[in-house]
Amino acid sequence: MSKTIIALDCMGGDNAPGEIVKGAVLAANENKDMLIKLVGREDDIKKELEKYPSSDKLEIVDAKEVIETGEPPVAAIRKKKDSSLVKCMYMVKKGEADAMVSAGSTGANLVGGHVIIGRIKGVERPPLAPLIPTKTGFSLLIDCGANVDARPSHLLQFAKMGSVYMENVVGIKNPKVALVNIGAEEEKGNALVKETYPLLKEMEGINFIGNIEARDIPNGDADVIVCEAFVGNVILKMYEGVAGALMGMVKETMMSSLKTKIGALLIKNELKQTLKDFDASDYGGAPMLGLKGLVVKSHGSSNAKEFKQSILQCIAFKQQNISGRIAASITADKELLSASENKTEE
């Protein structure tokens, strides 16, 4: 089996390049079937690599420019051809890399994915789809940031692409698909979800279980959580905020007295495991599904562990030929998608 080549944007995000390079070193030590191309300012990357033993799994690709978070995405992609993010995009487009990972500007990643790498034929809107922890494992939240104004046909494709990903990358057979709504009843919701619900019921090749309320998502009631990006991003940010606040409160309570400190000591190992199960950094970044090549968007504040996981998920994506499977799935559903599009426009 050929090695997976990953282009890593070493200049994007809050912790560049230190945590990014460290994550690459961790990934290279864990899996030998890859080559990681560290894209960014050569001197900065070399300085970080000096902290670790040399590895033939890491190569530097010099890029002089950096796209900053606040820059207009379209203008940045057009003007900064020698930026680390744009160079990564072109490496994927030209087949010099199988995938890319970036914690840089979300807007620039989305624009570059569309304009440079391009969509799979038949895919209307590529979504961002992170894995989020639940009581039973994890679920795929799709879309969480790419398409804030979606149509029913887009949500149908999200359901299909999410099912392909969960079945072939995560290994969940016949994954359960649910539509985010304000109630479980079919007649609940706004115009978008009311139009989408019956179409998902009719759709072949997915295991649609109905609506899901936000409060039920952490229970792991569904494997693929379908919504447009505005709702998805609110869910994701609330998830992160509540988890952080709750963990802080638990730690504060356990350190508040001698009695609670003794109790904390007694349950230390079990508590660590529980908190680890709900640690989102174990799952890496969000893949942008539906592109001709893989783009994984990591959180801007990602640490080395998260970068390592983002890099490692690229291997499974290539080995399982997810882009090819998505293309085949979308082609098979072309007639249904076309019908739903016409219904929406009427």
Global pTM reads: 0.87
pLDDT given for residue 248 in this prediction: 85
CB atoms under 10 Å from CB of 190, counted, come to 10
Q: Give the pLDDT of residue 249.
A: 87
Within this chain, do residues 148 and 275 fall inside the same structural domain, yes or no? yes
For residue 54, tell me if it sits in a domain: yes
User: 157 with 266, same domain?
Assistant: yes
Note whether 104 and 7 are same-domain residues: yes
pLDDT value of residue 329: 87
Identify the residue whose tokens are 């020698």.
82
The tally of domains found in the chain comes to 2
Question: How far does the chain reach from its first CA to its final CA, in angstroms?
Answer: 49
Residue where one domain finishes, among candidates 281, 301, 334: 281
Cis peptide before 130 (omega within 30 of 0): no
| 136 lies in the same domain as 68 | no
pLDDT at 345: 56
Residue-wise pLDDT for 253-292, tens only, equals 888 898 888 888 888 888 777 766 666 666 788 999 999 9
Q: Is residue 200 part of a domain?
A: yes
295, 99 Cβ separation under 8 angstroms: yes
The pLDDT score that the predictor gives to residue 340 is 52
Q: Please give the pLDDT value at position 234.
A: 95
Looking at residue 292, its pLDDT comes to 94
Stretches where the chain sits below pLDDT 70 are 1, 275-282, 333-346
In a domain, 217, yes or no: yes
Report the pLDDT value the prediction gives residue 334, as an integer from 0 to 100: 65
Looking at the fold, whether 132 and 277 belong to one and the same domain comes out as: yes
Are residues 64 and 136 located together in one domain of the fold?
A: no
CATH of the domain at 313: 3.40.718.10
Q: Residue 196 is part of which domain span?
A: 128-281
